[in-house]
Structures are given as C-alpha cells and as structure tokens.
Amino acid sequence: MGTMQRKSLKMPDETRTLPHGQTQIWNLGDFVVGRIVFEPGWRWSKDVKPIAGTDWCEYHHLGLMMEGTIHYVTPEGLEMEVSPGMLFEILPGHDAWVVGDTPVVQFDFAGMRTFALPAANRSERILATLVCTDVVDSTATAEKVGPAAWRTLLTELNAASRRQIDKYRGKVVANTGDGLISLFDGAERGVRCAMAISEEATKLGLGLRCGVHTGEVELLPDNVRGVAVHIVSRVTAVGGAGEVLVSGTTYELVADSDLQFEDRGTHELKGVTGARQIWALTPS
C-alpha cells in the first residue's frame, strides 16, 4: 500500500550548526531533504573540511538555489556558479564558497543524511556491512564504446549508485575506478542496496557484480581498512555480471528476512586464510 508524508518547513527534524552556516534536516522515510544557509565568507575548505576530514567535499548534491550565489570548483579545474532560481547537481569531489555579501539559501535533496557531521576518529573500529561493486569486462566494454561514451556510462553508474547508497542509509568509503565500496550499519539494507545498484547497472547496459560482507573495520576520515575490506573485494571477484554475492557472515545475519539465496559453495579467497562460504542472491 502506498504512503504519503508531509512535514512543515518550520519544524525540521534536526539542525546542524557549522562555522558560518547552518543545515536543517527533514527525514521523509528513505529520503532526506536539507535546507542550507551559508553566510558571506563561508568556504567548504575552510569551514567544513576540518569537520569532514577529507581534502574535497565527497557528497553528491542535487538541489535548488533560493538566495545568494555559490561558486563550485573541482580538482580538475572545472568551475560553476549557481544563482537564485537555478537547479543544480554537483558530483563528489569539489570545493565551494559564497560569492558576494548575500547569504546563500539552498535546498538539497541528495547527500544530506550525514553532511557536516564530524568524521570518525582514526582509531575507531566498528562492525559494518560493506558493499563492493565492480563492472565486469570493463576494459573490453571501454574499448567497444569508446573513451567518451565509457566516461559517460561510468558517471551515470556512479551517480545512480550513490543515489541508492544514500537511499539505503549507507556511505561511500572508496572509489575503485569502475566501482565503489560503501558502508552500512545494517546487513539487510546493504544487500538490498547491492540489488538496487545491480538493477541500475542493467538499465545502463552494464554488467555489474556486487559483493557483500559484514565484519569489523577501522574507520578513517576518507576510507576504511581491515580484513573485511579485503574479503568483500574477493567475494565480489567471484561473481559474474548481474550477480550479488554475500559472505556466510552476512547470509547468517539476513537469514530471517524474505531475501532468497543460492548456495555457491566454499571458496579459497586470495589473501584470506581459510575457505569461505558464499551465497548468491536470487530473485524472490
């Protein structure tokens, strides 16, 4: 059965204060909407970078500018200004600052779930579910479609993947070139996100394999590390185009869900001690 929601702009679910700015957050189920106010003089690399702990803003922004003007720049030197009445999309990897003496007011419909929240301590270890994606036969596909079309496909896949990761309350922790590694605090959400990303890749005509594993990882400001990262990469490598494979650990955690799996037997994973049980997600 469908549902409907509404919330008053006068009553945000959360308010985050940062230097020279403020973010109000509204949660609408799987979606998060943010209203951001940046004061004159605000700059991401000066005011948010110390909080985020990354060299560039790694969030995908999709929004509507209400007041003021903001200037965006990427590491590659691409630049763009957004003014009132404009819709905008900014992919991860950018700096930004307020132009002039008018405060910026904008609504953002992507990437606001954890924007401007402090980065985890470098020594913090947590139990998490990791999802790894990888394009099958990427070199052959790139040669077939040509460099320009390949870059476009990867950009579209990256954007679609990030939308699903945000929807399922995950966070991208690494970009592997033609894939992503993302982190979730729930095993079932991780598996369902992998399934959704696989479907997005199919729509683009790409064969994507996804791996899911749950284990302890060490959080870094812009990455994660630990044996679990190696395991999820190796589990992914076993898969074929369109497949979502999960480790035995993740399988046990979602055993009481309505997700269906097929036993793929035990595998010796490169660089990992001992054989590991792997399961393949099957259509329900």
Percent of the chain with pLDDT over 70: 95
Superfamily of domain 14-108: Jelly Rolls (2.60.120.10)
Contact 254, 221 (CB under 8 A): no
- Cα–Cα distance between 68 and 48 in angstroms, integer? 19
What confidence tens digit (pLDDT) does each residue in 217-251 have? Answer: 987 655 778 889 999 999 999 999 999 999 999 99
Strands (E) across 68-203 are located at: 69-73, 79-82, 87-90, 95-99, 104-108, 125-135, 171-175, 180-184
- Cα–Cα distance between 243 and 66 in angstroms, integer? 43
Q: What is the pTM of this model?
A: 0.64
- Cα–Cα distance between 166 and 29 in angstroms, integer? 12
CB atoms < 10 A from the CB of 185, how many? 13
The SS3 call for residue 36 is strand
- Cα–Cα distance between 168 and 14 in angstroms, integer? 19
What confidence tens digit (pLDDT) does each residue in 164-210 have? Answer: 999 998 988 888 878 999 999 999 999 999 999 999 999 999 999 99
Domain 125-282's class?
alpha beta
- Judged by average pLDDT, the poorest of 8-22, 121-135, 185-199 is 121-135
The SS3 call for residue 79 is strand
Show me where the domains of the chain are located. Answer: 14-108, 125-282
